[in-house]
A = this chain, B = another copy of it.
Amino acid sequence: MKPAVAIVEPKTPGNIGTIARAMKNFGMDDLKLVDPPAFGRDSEAYGYAGQAREDVLPNYDEVSFDHLVENYHTVGLTATTNEDARKHRRFPFKTTDELADSLRDVAAPTVLVFGREDNGLTNEEVARLDEVCSIPASADYPSLNLGQAATVTLYELRELTVPETQLPDVERERADEAEIEGFYDHFGSFLDAIDHPEEKREKTLRLARRLLGRAHPTGRELRTLRGVLRRAMYHADDE
């Protein structure tokens, strides 16, 4: 499930480039433009596309809105729904954080449809789409810039579209449970060695467990800490 991305009547080439870049950042490559402005290699579209200027952007298809509706499962993005349960045409909508889950099992070719910079998708266009999705934002000013809205939406689909991120695997790097338990045992012996008051012992151990648990320590970090404990216990014996 890797959706295409369509922009309906974008006015500024810069936004096309911004969206192409976000597509490449989040593993998407199929850009569709409905009635785009002319833009060349020296335009802001290419200027804003980053490395997507090499592939996503030049490989775009120019299509009609009808083509999208007829050939794809269509998901439209709108800033405000202007709707509630009393006008049920497009209610309930999805929010961006629900989108990946809801598209995971859709087998049909899917396209995310973004509207114009100034007034988005028309009511007639929205009525022809299969789903509508909104970005939850401040009631005071919910209208994101087109390029920013698309970036947030594509980011939320990364689980479906990015097979491998740039980040090391935290799970893999975290110390295993035996190492972590070994540290707590060692810390308990340390509390004994320094004559930590009996009545505080359990509470202190629990605190250490909570604190370290939150920090997801690596094996290296635990070994460093155990080195410190060993040295402190050696000195405690010494007295």
User: A219 interface residue, CB < 8 Å from B?
Assistant: yes
> How big is the A interface, by class?
35 or more
Q: How far is the CA of A89 from the CA of B162 in the complex (A)?
A: 27
With A86-B220, A91-B173 known to touch, is A21 a contact of B168 (CB < 8 Å)?
A: no
Q: How far is the CA of A64 from the CA of B176 in the complex (A)?
A: 41
With A136-B165, A138-B166 known to touch, is A155 a contact of B158 (CB < 8 Å)?
A: no
Q: How far is the CA of A133 from the CA of B25 in the complex (A)?
A: 17
Q: How far is the CA of A76 from the CA of B162 in the complex (A)?
A: 23
Interface residues of A in 135-154 (CB under 8 A from B): 135-145, 147-148, 151-152
Q: How far is the CA of A25 from the CA of B137 in the complex (A)?
A: 6
Q: How far is the CA of A182 from the CA of B215 in the complex (A)?
A: 49
Contact A50 B145 (CB under 8 A): yes
Contact B148 A136 (CB under 8 A): no
Contact A167 B50 (CB under 8 A): no
User: A5 interface residue, CB < 8 Å from B?
Assistant: no
Q: Which of A32-40, A77-85, A186-194 forms contacts with chain B?
A: A77-85
User: A18 interface residue, CB < 8 Å from B?
Assistant: yes
Contact B219 A136 (CB under 8 A): no
With A148-B147, A152-B152 known to touch, is A168 a contact of B25 (CB < 8 Å)?
A: no
A-B CB contact pairs (8 Å), 9 listed: A22-B144, A22-B148, A50-B143, A85-B218, A92-B170, A92-B218, A139-B165, A142-B166, A152-B155
